[in-house]
A and B are shown apart, each in its own frame.
Chain A
Amino acid sequence: MAKTKLIDSIEFPAEKSPLKAFVAVGAIGILLSLVGLVVNTEQFMYSYLTSFAFFISFALASLFLVMIHHITRSSWGITIRRIPETFSSQLWIYILLFIPILLGMNYLYAWTGDMGDRHPFYADLLDHKSPYLNTAFFIVRNIIYFAVWSFLGYKLYQYSIKMDETGDWGIDNAMRKISAPGILLFGFTVAFASFDWLMSLRFDWFSTMWGVYYFAMSFQALFAFLILIVFYLHSKGLLLNTVTKAHIGDMGGWMFGFTVFYAYIAFSQYFLIYYATIPEETLWFYVRFEDNWSIIAAFILFGRFIIPFIVLLGRPAKSNFKVLKFVTVLILVSHLIEVFWIVMPTLHADFKLHWIDIATFLGFAGIFLGLFFYQFSKNSMIPKNDPKLAESLNKH
């Protein structure tokens, strides 16, 4: 059997790294955010949480992708695996990025304060929930989440790098051994983290699907993001023969599949609440379909389901770069807007974009992508000694 050889350079050349640009963007964003923090602390906290939940979703979904890749011994994605590995290896940084949320908890989460003049129902409810919803336990839980994710992400990255250096295929087993229980821990930690960060913004609301919903959103968006990164690398003339049209087509296929999965989860959650019409559940959606929030909701429906679904339905579209570029951008924008739509109605009764929203977004984008490219250029761009690399390169 003919073995395809690696013919591209797999080192990221320093002069092609957009690191400086991202540092600049990040610095501007952080500065503006600091101004925002002083000017309007409450708005800053909500904007910050939006950006945080948006960017960490890629790192978390990356961690899942890497682990599932090891468990299933897949070969299709070996050539792009270093990208999600790099994202998930940086999960420990989010511990630092989470500190502002801890400091500003009182602004975000009504359950941290007293109920003031609200109806006694809420005081009773909060009393009932206080064993879970209290500041100390919130902090402890988040320490556990981040500890689990940081360990998994960092360890799997280290192993992968070690295989690059030593060429020892036995490391593959070690990675599989970590990934199997890792997936289990991941499922529970992400579910509870999504309850803590997003669902408890309204402590009276609940949905058992919430963790799955946050995951489904993130995983769909991750594929869009990965495709865009590959396009960026291609535009710099990198990995042109390593990540081929076939690989991009595959990712397009996955993106399509998880677009449908996202729609399925989101619809099921909405539909069960809509159909039963129990007030304590419907309120959450009620607020989000009021006024111009309904326009945002419609945008999400079209932006991350209807349009991508129709466009990607045919096979050729999945490896048509122009079409893919359009769809990936649309999905990413919709993902951001959906996170915004989840967080912001708690603060604003109707939709408006605040300048601090943009500031925190730029700050996070700079940090997130800057760190990514910094780390990505430190090691080779693909796991060059992976036992399944040849099979992956052979893909057509």
Chain B
Amino acid sequence: MSTKEKSNDRKVYGLLAEYANPAKLMRAAKLSNRAGYKKYDAYSPFPIHGMDDAMGLKNSKLGWIVLSHGLVGFAGGLALQIWTSSIAYPINIGGKPFVNIPAFIPVTFELTILLSAFGAVFGMFFLNNMPKHYNTLFNSDKFARVTDDKFFICVEASDDMFSLEETEKFLRDAGATDVEVIYE
């Protein structure tokens, strides 16, 4: 590795291994999972079907975030309308009851959807640690092509099993075409 001499003064962030295609990436991810690595991720230009299982990821918790937001929207919307129309300022409109539930459905529905959508988007940002404009991986020039046509696995140095030599060997054995050390 040509960058070895620099390693004394810079902290190692992790190892970035490149794979040729989605199938090889998935195989390597499966092996990393089986080997017991925890702090690693598989990077690709598009989501790969079956990768969650290969990496042994649990289901996303996003659904619960959305559901809770939706319930707040539903209850809040209904409460707002009932309170304003029957308590704060009751007006007789077309002889309908003050609490005119069928007429409140449209706004209740819209608010449920609106808050759920906020949950879906901002909940996803929260779970994905976004926005986070600096990322150590961006130090690698090669990594720029992950959004084009390259496939990578990065094992982070903070993983308990991480060792510069053995992990590199492991990643190469898993089919990497190239392994690069990433510094902080």
Contact = CB atoms under 8 A, between A and B. Distances in A.
Asked if chains A and B are in direct contact (CB within 8 A), the reply is: yes
Contacts of B67: 313
Contacts of A314: 63
A274 B95 CA distance: 12
B103 interface: yes
B131 interface: no
A314 B59 CA distance: 13
B94 A277 contact: yes
B64 to A, nearest CB: 10
Interface string B42-74: 000000000000000000000100010000000
Interface in A303-350: 313-315
B79 interface: no
B128 to A, nearest CB: 20
Interface in B74-107: 94-95, 102-103, 105
Nearest to B49: A396
A31 B90 CA distance: 60
B63 A275 contact: no
B11 to A, nearest CB: 42
Interface in A251-303: 267, 270-271, 274-275, 277
Contacts of A315: 63
B92 to A, nearest CB: 14
Interface in A32-87: none
A275 B103 contact: yes
A267 B105 contact: yes
Contacts of A313: 67
Q: Looking at chain B's contact residues, is the secondary structure mostly helix, strand, loop, or mixed?
A: helix
A267 B104 CA distance: 13
A270 B102 CA distance: 9
Interface in B91-149: 94-95, 102-103, 105
A271 B102 contact: yes
A16 B105 CA distance: 49
Contacts of A267: 102, 105
Contacts of B63: 314-315
A310 to B, nearest CB: 11
Contacts of A275: 94, 102-103
A279 to B, nearest CB: 13
A112 B116 CA distance: 53
B53 to A, nearest CB: 11
A349 B103 CA distance: 28
Nearest to B106: A271
A274 B104 CA distance: 13
Contacts of A274: 102
Contacts of A270: 102
A313 B64 CA distance: 12
B147 to A, nearest CB: 27
Nearest to A314: B63
Contacts of B102: 267, 270-271, 274-275
A136 B105 CA distance: 44
Contacts of B94: 275, 277
Contacts of B103: 275
A157 B111 CA distance: 46
Contacts of B105: 267, 271
A316 to B, nearest CB: 9
A277 B63 CA distance: 40
Contacts of A271: 102, 105
A267 B103 CA distance: 11
A271 B102 CA distance: 7
A294 B151 CA distance: 62
A239 to B, nearest CB: 26
A277 B100 CA distance: 14
Nearest to A276: B94
Interface of B: 63, 67, 94-95, 102-103, 105
14 contacts: A267-B102, A267-B105, A270-B102, A271-B102, A271-B105, A274-B102, A275-B94, A275-B102, A275-B103, A277-B94, A277-B95, A313-B67, A314-B63, A315-B63
Given A271-B105, A277-B94, 7 more contacts: A267-B102, A267-B105, A270-B102, A275-B102, A275-B103, A277-B95, A315-B63
